[in-house]
Structure 1
Amino acid sequence: MARGTMSEDVQAQIKRLILRRKLVPGDPLPTEAELVELLDVSRNSVREALKALQAMRIVEIRHGFGTYVGSLTLDPFVEGVAFRAAVRHHQGEASLYELMEVREALEAGLVGAVARSLPAEDLTVLRDLVDRMEKEAAAGRVESGTDRAFHLALYRSLGNHLLSEVLDAFWDALRRVRKDLDDSSQDPEVTWRQHAEIVTALETGDGDRAVEAMHRHFDGIRERLKGVV
């Protein structure tokens, strides 16, 4: 068996072991020696497989302590998407627009449903975040952490953890690419007002208005991207 194929086979066996034993993030895995015996493969094959799985956040190797089930986050996906977009941008492709359009399609397609059944406590969180944006805008810049918290809170009521992670992944990927390309253009007052428009629509339960406000928000991002395209 080729070396790469062997490593992939061992990775698959370790993943099946995690599923079979119903392990969750943070649970310990068998030691290297135990995996060698359980899987009937060489120690080098186990080590290569564990390193590959660690890169995917499926396992976490804590030197001196052992190997554990990893965080299972979408970080590798974000890094891959962001780097892909940066490379294609430098090749003259419209990769930033493509990345933004994926986000826009997801968020504009969901915000109407959110408007119809947004819990009062989530609306309060969104109002507080917009108030924070207003203060930050007055100081000269809306912080990316505030913007991120807003978009995460916006879809929390849907109760879909994977959806929240995917939306956050595309948010983070676009932020990383723009940071790498030194895109610091932002009109903080426009950013604050666009988010405030979304909240105003949500307060009235007007899904169509919320969708329109979301598209205007992305029109603003689209306009700022012209400076780096």
Structure 2
Amino acid sequence: METQQVLARILPFIRERGYQPGERIPSERELAERFQVSRGILREALATLEAMRVLERRPQSGIYLKDIATEASLDMVVLESDLGMPVSAADVLDLNQFRSMLEIQAVTLACQRRTEQDMEHLDLILTASRARHAAGQSLSEQDAQFHMALCAASGNRLIQRAANSFWLASRARREQYFGEPGNAKRSITQHTALRNAIAQGDTGKALDVLNQHLGNVERYWMAHVQPANARPGQA
């Protein structure tokens, strides 16, 4: 069994058992027996979770759960998405607010710092988006590329790194979003307006378009999230 498969079993186990931050979870030996995997593979899975600040191994004491909601790295969000773990309404709200904070700052900076190369990159993505839409193909990847290009135009590398984690974690949701009629056309229209405002250095206009764009996406996801997916302890 691969490490990824073990992670796909350990994380739901921790969630379903309702372990609290700071609580000790079963030992390495007990987990290996429960999931019927070698100690070596299990150690790799635990090392991954420790690196993401999900677990803490204390010498001569055991394995303890950290506060995932506040201490786990952004890579944990990507991992949960890769494993196909359920997303709650609270998760969607947090992710959209995180994205909004990043992109508002990115667009504000892009209006001041964008270069000719930045604009050429945005134009290439928009051209590809229009071609794919005309061919009836998904814009999932082009959407991510466009927003990553916006973040790159900010000139801030930390914004780019944080945004990359968000887009990696949203792959499956983007595919669903662009499977809905009308979302692709609306996205291209708003991306084009956003590109033009940035080219003109019009921060106010760019933020107005961005807020409308993000609002559409948030309303869509809040309407489609499944209440049954809520995490224990979340409303």
- TM-score tier by shorter-chain length is 0.5 to 0.7
Q: Which ranges of 4 or more aligned residues in structure 1 deviate by more than 4 Å? A: 44-51, 54-58, 81-85
Contact kept, 8 Å, 2:78 with 2:166, in 1: the verdict is yes
94 and 170 in structure 1: CA distance in 2 versus 1, 3 angstrom threshold: same
User: In structure 1, what is the equivalent of residue 205 of structure 2?
Assistant: 209
2:79 is the counterpart of 1:79: yes
Task: Tell me the SS of whatever aligns to 2:122.
Answer: helix
CA distance in 2, matches of 1:220, 1:111: 18
- TM-score where L is the length of structure 1: 0.60
- TM-score where L is the length of structure 2: 0.59
The higher relative CO (CA closer than 8 Å, separation ≥ 6) is in 2
User: In structure 2, what is the equivalent of residue 145 of structure 1?
Assistant: 141
- From 172, 180, 193, the equivalent of 1:185 is 180
When the two chains are superposed, the root-mean-square deviation of aligned CA atoms in Å is 3.6
Letter in 1 for 2:95: L
> Shift of the alpha carbon at 1:166?
1.3
1:185-219 per-position Cα deviation (integer Å, ceiling 9, x unaligned)? 25221111111111010111111111111111112
Gaps of 5+ in 2: 1-23, 29-37, 53-72, 226-235
- From 49, 53, 56, the equivalent of 2:47 is 53
> Shift of the alpha carbon at 1:54?
4.4
2:128 is the counterpart of 1:132: yes
Contact kept, 8 Å, 2:197 with 2:203, in 1: the verdict is yes
Task: Tell me the SS of whatever aligns to 2:180.
Answer: coil
CA distance in 1, matches of 2:123, 2:97: 26
Gaps of 5+ in 1: 8-43, 59-72
- From 86, 98, 101, the equivalent of 2:97 is 101
2:159 is the counterpart of 1:163: yes
Larger Rg: 1
CA distance in 1, matches of 2:153, 2:139: 24
82 and 162 in structure 1: CA distance in 2 versus 1, 3 angstrom threshold: farther
